[in-house]
Amino acid sequence: MPEETVQLNQIVPDFAAEATGKPFRLSDYRGKNLVIYFYPKDNTPGCTAESIDFRDHYAEFRQADTEIVGVSRDSLRSHENFARKFDLPFTLISDPEETLCNRFNVMKTKTRYGKVGRGIERSTFLIDRNGQLVKEWRGVKVPGHIEEILDAARQLNR
């Protein structure tokens, strides 16, 4: 039976996933804000730029009592190499079966170089300390995006 998709202004049901460092469990982040960003593929230009941008603002997110987690369909090994290569201080979730991708409804039909296929639409979600999905960004363009998320995270602490 497929998992229910998450809805804005609703509590995100707990889930566990394979991740860098240690297995990820959403409930471990209760009491903190959480950014979950979905990206198409490790080591591609846009995804690398986005991940580096999150890395470069990581201390500011921590000051806003917010953790960051990245998700793509890449393998755990790919994620570990990607995180090491770019010194990413946050967790990356491996979702090869698209369980989380489907739960957050980020899988889209895309055309790339004339070929049609399914892929992750770059998307970011902000979950508050109570586990409620409070903001979502879909079809994200990387430039300026991190600052917008950081501002939203800071708003949650007011």
Residue 10 lies in a domain: no
Residue 83 lies in a domain: yes
What is the pLDDT at residue 114? 83
Structural domains of the chain, count: 1
Summarize pLDDT for 11-21 with one digit per residue, the tens. Answer: 999 999 999 98
CATH number at 68 reads 3.40.30.10
Give the pair of three-digit tokens for residue 59. 């201390």
Residue 101 lies in a domain: yes
Summarize pLDDT for 109-146 with one digit per residue, the tens. Answer: 877 778 888 899 999 999 999 999 999 999 989 888 99
Residue 64 lies in a domain: yes
Identify whether 47 is a catalytic site residue.
Answer: yes
Summarize pLDDT for 25-78 with one digit per residue, the tens. Answer: 999 999 999 999 999 999 999 999 999 999 999 999 999 999 999 999 999 999
Write the single-letter amino acid at 109.
Answer: T
Q: How many residues does the chain have?
A: 158
Residue 6 lies in a domain: no
Range of the domain at 37: 16-156
Residue 33 lies in a domain: yes
Residue 5 lies in a domain: no
Q: Which candidate in 19, 47, 146, 150 is catalytic?
A: 47
Residue 46 lies in a domain: yes
Give the pair of three-digit tokens for residue 130. 């109570």
pLDDT > 80? residue 2: no
